[in-house]
Amino acid sequence: MIALLLATIIFLPIWLPVGCICSPVWVPVIFIVSMMKKNKPVINSDEDSARNELERTLREQVKIEEESVREAYKDLEGDDKFEKARNFNRW
């Protein structure tokens, strides 16, 4: 009886933390936390759609302006001058 009490006093501080850490209760918790870390929350989709819409609008405006510049250069001196100016002013 004394040996059992002594063994409990000695081994309980060692096995209690190990039992708590390796407990089957922690397995789903660790799994859920790891899945949450892998699946990062998506940025607000409204912000993404607004950003994409703005980028698309800006690209369309640049294309329209480029076409108008191309037409102006064609009217003045031909297509070669436009290509030279376009390559020179690459931004």
Note whether 24 and 57 are same-domain residues: no
Which tens digit of pLDDT belongs to each residue from 39-80?
665 556 777 788 889 999 999 999 999 888 888 777 666 556
* pLDDT at res. 11: 67
What is the domain extent for residue 29?
Answer: 1-37
Q: What tokens does 32 get?
A: 């859920």
Note whether 49 and 30 are same-domain residues: no
Alpha-carbon distance 3 to 10, whole Å?
10
Note whether 32 and 48 are same-domain residues: no
Q: Yes or no: say if 89 and 77 are a contact pair by the CB < 8 Å rule.
A: no
Residue 73: which residues within 8 A CB-CB, separation 6 or more?
79, 81, 82, 85
Alpha-carbon distance 19 to 13, whole Å?
10
